Amino acid sequence: MPRFNVFENHMVPRHSLATEEETAAILEKFKIIKTQLPKMLIIDPCVKALSQQHKKEGKEQIQLGDVIRIDRESPTAGVYHYYRLVIEDKPIY
């Protein structure tokens, strides 16, 4: 259980679960399959925090294979949408 919410830090961009349609649109737009998306570990603090938030709101849990949408604010690009695929935690050798 994380002791603090990473989303409260102003440097952490907004994370949310991408909907099926949204994911499909991205995959279609870039002509890629899901595994070609950038990845993030399921033990990533942001995934954990998002899971907890979902739990509180009674929404579905984050699972392997879900796509997380990250909205990054940038002075040059406005809001930039980034999508990451949630993958399982691999021991790091």
Partner 1 sequence: MVHYQYIPKKIARIQFALLSPDEIRNMSATKIITADTYDDDGFPIDMGLMDPRLGVIEPGLKCKTCGRKVDECPGHFGHIDLAMPVIHEGYTKMIKEMLSATCRACGKIKLTEERQEKVNNKIAKIGKISENPFLFLSLTSKVRGDSISVGQCPYCGEESKKISLDKPTTYREEGHKLTPKEIRERLERIPDDHLVFLGINPKVARPEWMILTSLPVPPVTVRPSITLESGDRSEDDLTHKLVDVLRINQRLQENRDSGAPQLIVEDLWELLQYHITTYFDNQTSGIPPARHRSGRPLKTLAQRLKGKEGRFRSNLSGKRVNFSARTVISPDPYISINEVGVPKPIAMELSVPMRINEYNFEQVKEFVMKGPENHPGANYVIRPDGQRLRITDRNKETLLERLQVGYIVERHLMDGDIVLFNRQPSLHRMSMMGHEVRVMGGKTFRLNLPNCPPYNADFDGDEMNLHCIQGEEARAEAKIIMRVQEQILSPRFGGPVIGAIHDHISGNFILTHGMQMFPSDEAYHLLTKTSYGGALPEPDVIGYNGTPLWSGKSIFSLIMPDGITMEYNSSIYNPADDAEHNFDSLVRIEVNEEGHSKLLSGPIDEVSVGAFKGKLLEKIVRDFGSDRGRQFLDDATRLAINAISLIGFSTGIDEEDIPEEAKLQISDRLDEAERKVDIYVQKYNSKQLEPHPGRTLKETLEVEAMRELGRARDGAGQIASKYLGLKNSAVLMARSGARGSMLNLSQMSGSIGQQAVRGQRISRGYQGRTLPHFKPNDLGAAAKGFVKSCYKKGLRPTEYFFHSMGGREGLVDTAVRTSRSGYMQRRLINALEDLKVLLDREVRNTIGVVVQFRYGEDGIDPARSIRSDAVDYEDIVKTAMREVS
Q: Which residues lie near partner 1 (CB under 8 A)?
A: 26, 30-33, 35-38, 72, 74-77, 80-83, 90-91, 93
Q: CB-wise, 58 or 91, nearer to partner 1? A: 91
Shortest spacing between CB 32 and partner 1, in angstroms: 6
Q: CB-wise, 11 or 77, nearer to partner 1? A: 77
Shortest spacing between CB 5 and partner 1, in angstroms: 25
What distance in Å separates the CA atoms of residue 24 and residue 90, rounded to the nearest whole number? 26
Q: CB-wise, 42 or 54, nearer to partner 1? A: 42
